[in-house]
């Protein structure tokens, strides 16, 4: 073993241990490893930052921004509410949510897909009096499986496509992953829905219905527009729809007065104000799906124009706030900062009457609708303290069709070979900004910068490992182990090793290490590399044994009341199913 190989293997081993330990974030560990490799002379200084200009790194960033446009337009929220429309048994619920989550993950970041579906899953668990732990892990696994469907579904697919372009001169196309990835995802989701969830510990079923943290509910007002409620203008129908989304309509106001009489019999008219009790997320989801409008802050509320990017911001009124002893109306919050008081809680009670004129007290919690460009200005002027996690971007449903059409056009253009994926996604993002789907100010907020740093740092290390013969050394060892046996056995060993590594290491880093190994292994076996590259992409995405292998596994750890040892119960048979389904298909679709 040469000096560069020894240094690189040692560095990668240390990095894996540090990432597994979790004391420092994985991007810092990766960047520190890159700097150490430069100082030790195994990565040339002039090539140290090539990974940040690599097309794979750029595509990952563009995918995150482009899919954020789908989320912000309300398209994903609309879909998730449609599938939550009726109660189902546990198997039916997991199958439905798993299929939708898998399809969404094929065309958007799978972490974003889980983030959109998880609140709906938790709500369904509460309504069905079912422990959230029975369905959250199946949902997380399904969204991971769905990433295998397309080129942009998960970063490992993009990474192996980049390696293929370097070796064979041509990357994979948008749907080259579908034949194998689709079959694996279908088999995996079927297993999860029919058998997998039953393998989870019995204690999860005894923990009671899932909770998604403390619920701060407000009494808020939404204004009816001509496009609202899809024709459900009898209040009883609107209330039934609202309850499905965790919202309770408690009154209807018309021309500043509560409408008298039995509530359910009332007919809703344009310009009416619906008084609702809901937490911020449910409030905006109901507003978005029913085409309602936020009020404009006047005493007799009217629909607020959707002029620019807006956020729902929860704030605490501290003792030093300029608002103590004053109302938001007298302070000029609407006129000075174009912001609206949506809800107010005092000593744990949600207040309703004349919110703009309520004299604020220390300790009050306020829910404000604030334009993105005015948020910091408002907080500084009022002295309000934003609650950690208490900021929610407002969906912009009027851009829904435009956002879907632009994204679909990019997928079509890439699939037909009209242009490359980075160019197509770049054009989509420019169109999103010009058409108002996303604002310029928030573009970079949707990039997962730790992942970008991880990729930018690991790519030079992976290339150095390949150029110094390290990957050839690993592949030679695998070839020796399988000497005299069919090439498919080497493929199984490669995929098994990649799965184990992905369970303890970030799947992006695993792919960067395993992809060049797969190419060298195919060369030594004198076979075509596609089956091995595709096998790495599948295996690297299958991190089902631990909560640290994939971010989706980590996100559900707390809400699902899981322990570290719970994941392998469903994850181990799932990984075996993935191997059993994928290997024959790989050999058929991508012959050796």
Sign of CA dihedral 251, 253, 259, 265: negative
Q: Note whether residue 319 is domain-resident.
A: yes
Same domain for 363 and 483 = no
The Cα–Cα gap between 496 and 499 comes to: 5
Model pLDDT for residues 105-138, shown as the tens digit of each residue: 888 777 777 877 776 787 677 777 788 889 999 9
Q: Mark which of 393, 411, 429 sits at the end of a domain.
A: 393
Q: How much is the pLDDT for 284?
A: 86
Report the candidate in 315, 320, 195 with the shortest Cα–Cα distance to residue 576. Answer: 195
Mean pLDDT across 489-509? 84
The Cα–Cα gap between 123 and 80 comes to: 12
Q: What share of the chain is helix, strand, coil (3-state, %, to 5)?
A: 60, 10, 30
Q: Note whether residue 174 is domain-resident.
A: no
Same domain for 456 and 578 = yes
pLDDT at 371 over 80: yes
Same domain for 455 and 585 = yes
Q: What is the 3 state secondary structure string of 299-344?
A: CCCCECCCCCCEEEEEEECCCCCCCCCCCHHHHCHHHHHCCEEEEE
Q: Note whether residue 150 is domain-resident.
A: no
Mean pLDDT across 293-303? 84
pLDDT at 301 over 70: yes
Ordered DSSP codes for 161-176: HHHHHHHHS----TTT
pLDDT at 87 over 80: no
Which is more confidently placed, 364 or 442? 364
The Cα–Cα gap between 567 and 547 comes to: 7
Q: How much is the pLDDT for 311?
A: 85
Q: Note whether residue 78 is domain-resident.
A: no
Q: Determine which of 79-88, 118-127, 264-273, 495-504 has the lowest per-residue pLDDT on average.
A: 79-88
Ordered DSSP codes for 411-433: HHHHHTTSS-HHHHHHHHHHHHH
Which is more confidently placed, 147 or 76? 147
Alpha-carbon torsion, ordered 356, 341, 80, 268, to 10 deg: 20
The Cα–Cα gap between 341 and 324 comes to: 15
Work out whether strand 365-371 and strand 340-346 pair parallel, antiparallel, or are unpaired. Answer: antiparallel
Q: How much is the pLDDT for 566?
A: 87
User: Is this model's pTM higher than 0.75 or not?
Assistant: no
Same domain for 572 and 468 = yes
Report the candidate in 559, 406, 491, 523 with the shortest Cα–Cα distance to residue 180. Answer: 491
For 577, the domain range is 3-47+448-589
Q: How much is the pLDDT for 86?
A: 59
Same domain for 574 and 474 = yes
Count how many domains the chain has. Answer: 2
Kindly report the CA angle at 25 between 21 and 31, in degrees rounded to 5?
110
> Which token pair is 14?
């240390």
Model pLDDT for residues 12-54, shown as the tens digit of each residue: 888 878 876 768 887 888 899 999 999 999 999 998 998 888 7
pLDDT at 207 over 60: no
Q: How much is the pLDDT for 218?
A: 93
Q: Which residue has the tokens 């939404």?
A: 222
Cβ proximity of 38 and 48 under 8 Å: yes
Q: Mark which of 365, 393, 421 sits at the end of a domain.
A: 393
The Cα–Cα gap between 496 and 492 comes to: 6
Mean pLDDT across 60-69? 79
Kindly report the CA angle at 416 between 412 and 422, in degrees rounded to 5?
70
Q: Note whether residue 60 is domain-resident.
A: no
Model pLDDT for residues 175-195, shown as the tens digit of each residue: 999 999 999 999 999 999 999
The Cα–Cα gap between 445 and 311 comes to: 13
Share of residues in the chain with pLDDT > 70 (%): 93
Q: How much is the pLDDT for 214?
A: 45
What is the rounded radius of gyration, in angstroms, for the C-alpha atoms of the chain?
Answer: 26
Mean pLDDT across 232-236? 82
Q: Note whether residue 54 is domain-resident.
A: no
Q: Which of 86-95, 271-280, 300-309 has the highest mean pLDDT?
A: 271-280
Q: Mark which of 367, 393, 419 sits at the end of a domain.
A: 393
Same domain for 560 and 480 = yes
Of the pLDDT bands very low, low, confident and very high (cuts 50, 70, 90), residue 459 is: confident
Share of residues in the chain with pLDDT > 90 (%): 26
Average pLDDT over all residues of the chain = 84
Sign of CA dihedral 117, 118, 121, 122: negative
Q: Note whether residue 405 is domain-resident.
A: no
Which is more confidently placed, 382 or 213? 382
Mean pLDDT across 569-582? 95
The domain spanning residue 387 has which CATH number? Answer: 3.30.70.1450
Same domain for 453 and 342 = no
The Cα–Cα gap between 444 and 58 comes to: 13
Q: Note whether residue 69 is domain-resident.
A: no
Of the pLDDT bands very low, low, confident and very high (cuts 50, 70, 90), residue 142 is: very high
Same domain for 580 and 454 = yes
Same domain for 387 and 461 = no
Q: How much is the pLDDT for 297?
A: 81
Same domain for 581 and 458 = yes
Same domain for 453 and 384 = no
Work out whether strand 385-393 and strand 310-316 pair parallel, antiparallel, or are unpaired. Answer: antiparallel
Mean pLDDT across 430-443? 84
Model pLDDT for residues 514-542, shown as the tens digit of each residue: 888 898 888 888 889 999 999 999 999 89
Q: How much is the pLDDT for 213?
A: 41
Residue 197 DSSP label: G
The Cα–Cα gap between 547 and 566 comes to: 9
Report the candidate in 544, 587, 538 with the shortest Cα–Cα distance to residue 153. Answer: 538
CA of 541: how far to CAs of 115, 116, 405, 421, in Å? Answer: 18, 20, 28, 21
pLDDT at 58 over 90: no
Mean pLDDT across 447-468? 81
Same domain for 582 and 479 = yes
Of the pLDDT bands very low, low, confident and very high (cuts 50, 70, 90), residue 353 is: confident
């Amino acid at each position: 073993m040469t000096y560069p190989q020894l240094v690189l293997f040692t560095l990668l081993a240390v990095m894996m241990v540090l990432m597994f330990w979790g004391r420092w974030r994985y991007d810092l560990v990766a960047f520190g490893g890159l700097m150490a490799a430069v100082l030790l002379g195994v990565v040339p200084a002039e090539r140290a930052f090539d990974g940040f200009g690599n097309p794979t790194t750029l595509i990952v960033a563009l995918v995150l921004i482009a899919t954020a446009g789908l989320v912000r337009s309300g398209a994903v929220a609309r879909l998730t509410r449609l599938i939550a429309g009726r109660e189902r048994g546990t198997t039916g619920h997991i199958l439905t949510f798993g299929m939708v989550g898998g399809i969404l993950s094929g065309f958007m970041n799978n972490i974003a897909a889980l983030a959109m579906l998880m609140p709906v899953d938790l709500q369904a668990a509460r309504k069905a009096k079912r422990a959230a732990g029975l369905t959250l892990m199946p949902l997380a696994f399904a969204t991971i499986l769905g990433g295998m469907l397309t080129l942009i579904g998960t970063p490992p697919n993009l990474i192996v496509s980049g390696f293929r372009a370097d070796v064979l001169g041509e990357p994979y196309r948008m749907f080259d992953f579908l034949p194998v990835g689709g079959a694996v995802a279908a088999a995996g989701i079927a297993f999860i829905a029919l058998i997998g969830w039953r393998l989870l510990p019995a204690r999860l079923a005894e923990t009671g219905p899932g909770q998604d943290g403390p619920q701060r509910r407000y009494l808020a007002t939404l204004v009816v527009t001509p496009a609202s409620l899809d024709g459900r203008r009898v209040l009883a129908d609107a209330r039934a729809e609202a309850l499905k989304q965790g919202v309770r309509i408690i009154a209807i106001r018309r021309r500043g007065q509560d409408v008298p009489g039995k509530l359910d019999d009332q007919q809703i008219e344009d310009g009416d104000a619906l008084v609702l009790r809901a937490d911020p997320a449910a409030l905006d989801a109901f507003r978005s799906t029913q085409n309602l409008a936020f009020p404009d802050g006047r005493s007799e509320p009217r629909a607020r124009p959707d002029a620019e990017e807006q956020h729902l911001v929860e704030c605490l009124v501290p003792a030093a706030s300029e608002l103590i002893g004053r109302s938001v109306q007298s302070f000029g919050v609407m006129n000075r900062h174009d912001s609206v008081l949506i809800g107010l809680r005092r000593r744990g009670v949600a207040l309703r009457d004349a919110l703009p004129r309520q004299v604020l007290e220390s300790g009050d919690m306020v829910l404000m609708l604030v334009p993105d460009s005015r948020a910091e200005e408002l907080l500084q002027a009022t002295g309000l303290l934003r609650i950690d996690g208490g900021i929610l971007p407002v969906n912009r449903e009027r851009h829904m069709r435009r956002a879907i059409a632009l994204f679909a056009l990019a997928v079509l253009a890439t699939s037909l070979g009209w242009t490359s994926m980075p160019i197509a996604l770049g054009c989509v993002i420019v169109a999103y900004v010009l058409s108002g789907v996303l604002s310029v100010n928030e573009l970079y907020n949707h990039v997962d910068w730790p992942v970008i740093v991880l990729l930018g740092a690991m790519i030079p290390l992976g290339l150095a490992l390949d150029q110094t013969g390290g990957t050839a050394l690993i592949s030679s060892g695998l070839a020796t182990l399988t000497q005299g046996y069919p090439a498919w056995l080497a493929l199984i060993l490669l995929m098994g090793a990649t799965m184990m590594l992905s369970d303890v290491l970030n799947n992006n880093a695993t792919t960067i290490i395993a992809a060049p190994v797969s190419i060298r292994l195919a060369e030594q076996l004198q076979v075509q590399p596609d089956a091995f590259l595709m096998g790495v992409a599948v295996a690297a995405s299958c991190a089902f044994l631990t909560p640290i292998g994939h971010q989706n596994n980590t996100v559900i750890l707390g809400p699902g009341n899981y322990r570290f040892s719970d994941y392998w119960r469903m994850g181990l048979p799932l990984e075996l199913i993935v191997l059993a389904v994928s290997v024959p298909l790989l050999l058929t679709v991508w012959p050796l």
